[in-house]
A and B are shown apart, each in its own frame.
Chain A
Amino acid sequence: MQVEKFYYDNKIVRAFAYATVLWGIVGMLAGLWVAIQFYAPAASLNYAGTTFGRLRPIHTNAVIFAFVGNCMFTGIYYSLQRLCKARMFSDLLSKIHFWGWQSIIVLAALTLFFGMTTGKEYAELEWPIDILITVIWVVFGINMFGTIIKRRESHIYVAIWFYIATWITVAMLHIVNSIEIPVNLFKSYSWYAGVQDALVQWWYGHNAVAFFLTTPILGLMYYFLPKAANRPVYSYRLSIIHFWALIFLYIWAGPHHLLYTALPDWAQSLGVVFSVMLIAPSWGGMLNGLFTLRGAWDKVREEPVLKFFVVAITCYGMSTFEGPMLSLKNVNAIAHFTDWIIGHVHIGGLGWNGFMAFGMLYYLIPKMFNTPLYSKKLATNHFWLGTIGIVLYAIPLYWAGFTQSLMWKQFTEDGTLQYPNFLETVTQIIPMYITRSIGGTLYLIGAFFMVYNLYKTVKQGSFIADEAAEAAPLEKAHSHAKEYWHRVIERKPMQMLVISLIVVAIGGLIELIPTFLVKSNIPTIASVKPYTPLELQGRDIYIREGCYTCHSQMIRPFRDEVARYGEYSKAGEFVYDHPFQWGSKRTGPDLAREGGKNPDSWHFMHMFDPRQVSDKSIMPRYPWLYQNDLDISTTPGKIRAMQTLGVPYEKGYDQIANTALETQAKEISFGLKTDSKVKQLMTVEGISNPEKKEIVALIAYLQRIGKDIKGGQKSKTAQASLK
């Protein structure tokens, strides 16, 4: 058969590779900055955009979607062409994909900096950006499938299956979790409320880890590891089982992020069981990777690329063992809301994603520039700095998590909390926070080594923009009558896409449908009422400032939590919460019963400067809330949006909402002015008309949280549990 000559497009790979490096450094710098704020709150600069609550989402979005996202695209655009023996389907689509994705990243950074957020972790971006993501993702999909369809290789290699599953699942997750009702261009409310919102969000959040941080990178592992080691993967059979079992099981495990919460118990149990089962395919994949190097370990000693891959795959194994362990309810009871989770996540982020990205870049750049790597020694130094950085990052956080959790749960012989002041449990772990940031710094320095090394490599080489290749065209249809069905779909990308979608949709549907359709899943509580307009505005400020990044609103039914915070949280309390604000980390105390705990004046003084109220507090200052006037022009629109979502405000309430808002603001302001400390602060700082300022709305919200079922009427849930 006539052999065809064609060219691989390396330009697009280079573009994504440079973007990976750039956003990696930006994301890590943001991470280091937020890490420093744990022990030096002044590092927030007392400026809204650089405060922890806004900077942390910038960090997470930057490393997940910008760093790992671009890394994934680099690897896919490089490997897909070679595995398909075809140039990308369309150079134009490649460019649109590249520039579209970079625009999304820039828009994300800007909007998060200015506090425009949906308040849903890892899905913080507002609706116009969500739409843009969808469009660009479709462009990527067309380009990828177009390439697969015009391939010159009969079999679709297993790495591509992972890419296909990634594409379809991320599309499904993104669309389902991003259904929201816009209030204006920069603000929307989640379509779902409370428990349902939490379930959808963590179904998304967990699977974003699975299908954005794991499956595409596994695809890269199945391509780049054999390439770098120059030997085929250990067991192709195992890789098939790895793929199907992994994508099937992963999707069910989301509820393990919500153990002991107000989520229905059956959904929690389902999440736990599938999480534990997930060890099998994950470790199958890890072993498949490590065994690929059997008989080639001498190469690992000399080759930095393989060093990075080995540690990355080991970290993948550690993370995927630890994950299921953390899903066990008894372990989760200790670990959840603590720094243990941050340690766990960074074994995956720094070890698995980071090291796979570094290894891949060290492999790709010299290949595309037709030159050896500038310095293997420097790359090896990067490897060691990074590895020590990971250890120094993770171990202190495991220690911190254990320490703090045990302190939270410690009772005296008299049956009272040993450490009733939450702050005591924070100051205890400050040294661990410092050590963590040293670990992060080492890791970042290592990354700078890589930037220099790659820069020098690029300088000394000459770029092959279009790499020549030859292959015979694919033979047209021949009979598959006696073949297994699987072997047939291995050649048919669309069938693979549809089957992958069915496989991942099963778990999601079985989990989500009952929670949405069975009304009794969320028992209503008569005393729970919608927020007043001022509280609603205050809640939006709470979301804007990212308070949920440090404070949970979910009291689990544990003795210590009930003693510390008050009655445990009920599903019915959150029916008007669009979005839910349960949080996932307690750097500060839980706020689910904050309403009425402290007077308004305390909040006024505390938000201005937490250290004036609680010595050694690590909370940032929020001075701008005392200067910014509350924008009440949005109130009618917000009320109407809530009405559309089913919140029972009376008809026409949007027209009178601001009157109610102003009345409540004046009441709070009047009370504040009677406090001598508040008066003094207002005089010194020149704060006038507090009733018009954002702080009053925030105080109104904080004073409302969890109050509906406090004291007076017991909920049906509470009564049921007492029987």
Chain B
Amino acid sequence: MKFVHYLEKITDISIYPVISFCIFGLFFLVMATYVIKSDKKHMDENSRIPLD
């Protein structure tokens, strides 16, 4: 059983997953860059906030 007709009737349906992946990929890269480049001292300070 296939729901092929749904896929046929939405023009360029494949764009949805592609867009999704691109958005997430970009988002993740920006986030990862920030985290990697961030200052260790700053991170350590922040992580101690609950204990202060």
Bound pair: A and B? yes
CB distance from A571 to the nearest CB of B (A): 8
Interface flags, B27-52, vs A, CB<8A=1, else 0: 11001101111100011111111110
CB distance from A60 to the nearest CB of B (A): 31
Q: Which residue of A lies closest to B35 (CB)?
A: A237
CB distance from A543 to the nearest CB of B (A): 28
Q: Which of B4, B38, B50 contacts A237 (CB 8 A)?
A: B38
A236–B50 Cα distance when bound, in Å, is: 12
- In the assembled complex, A363 has its CB within 8 A of some CB on chain B: no
With A83-B49, A155-B49, A157-B50: A487-B38 Cβ-Cβ less than 8 Å: yes
Q: Check B19 against A82 for contact (C-beta < 8 Å).
A: no
Q: Check B31 against A520 for contact (C-beta < 8 Å).
A: no
- In the assembled complex, A629 has its CB within 8 A of some CB on chain B: no
- Residue of A153, A230, A265 contacting most chain B CB atoms (<10 Å): A265
- In the assembled complex, A273 has its CB within 8 A of some CB on chain B: yes
Q: Check A236 against B47 for contact (C-beta < 8 Å).
A: yes
A484–B39 Cα distance when bound, in Å, is: 10
Q: Which of B10, B36, B44, B48 contacts A520 (CB 8 A)?
A: B10
Interface flags, B1-40, vs A, CB<8A=1, else 0: 1111111011001001101100110011001101111100
A233–B49 Cα distance when bound, in Å, is: 10
With A270-B17, A510-B19, A568-B1: A521-B6 Cβ-Cβ less than 8 Å: yes
A521–B10 Cα distance when bound, in Å, is: 8
Q: Check A241 against B49 for contact (C-beta < 8 Å).
A: no
CB distance from B40 to the nearest CB of A (A): 9
* Contact residues in B for A264 (Cβ distance below 8 Å): 3, 6-7, 10
A514–B46 Cα distance when bound, in Å, is: 42
What's the count of A-B pairs with C-beta under 8 Å? 108
* Contact residues in A for B17 (Cβ distance below 8 Å): 266, 269-270, 273
Q: Which of A226, A265, A514 contacts B50 (CB 8 A)?
A: A226
- In the assembled complex, A52 has its CB within 8 A of some CB on chain B: no
* Contact residues in B for A233 (Cβ distance below 8 Å): 47
With A269-B17, A484-B38, A506-B23: A227-B50 Cβ-Cβ less than 8 Å: yes
* Contact residues in B for A83 (Cβ distance below 8 Å): 49-50
Q: Check B31 against A240 for contact (C-beta < 8 Å).
A: yes
CB distance from B47 to the nearest CB of A (A): 4
A227–B49 Cα distance when bound, in Å, is: 10
CB distance from A411 to the nearest CB of B (A): 17
* Contact residues in A for B48 (Cβ distance below 8 Å): 232
CB distance from A254 to the nearest CB of B (A): 13
A237–B46 Cα distance when bound, in Å, is: 10
Q: Check B51 against A227 for contact (C-beta < 8 Å).
A: yes
Q: Which residue of B lies closest to A270 (CB)?
A: B17
Tell me the B residues contacting A by CB distance below 8 Å.
1-7, 9-10, 13, 16-17, 19-20, 23-24, 27-28, 31-32, 34-38, 42-51
Starting from the known contacts A231-B51, A241-B32, A266-B13, 5 additional A-B residue pairs (CB-CB under 8 Å) come to: A273-B17, A487-B42, A506-B23, A521-B9, A568-B1
The 3 A-B pairs of least Cβ separation, nearest first, read A557-B1, A520-B9, A232-B47
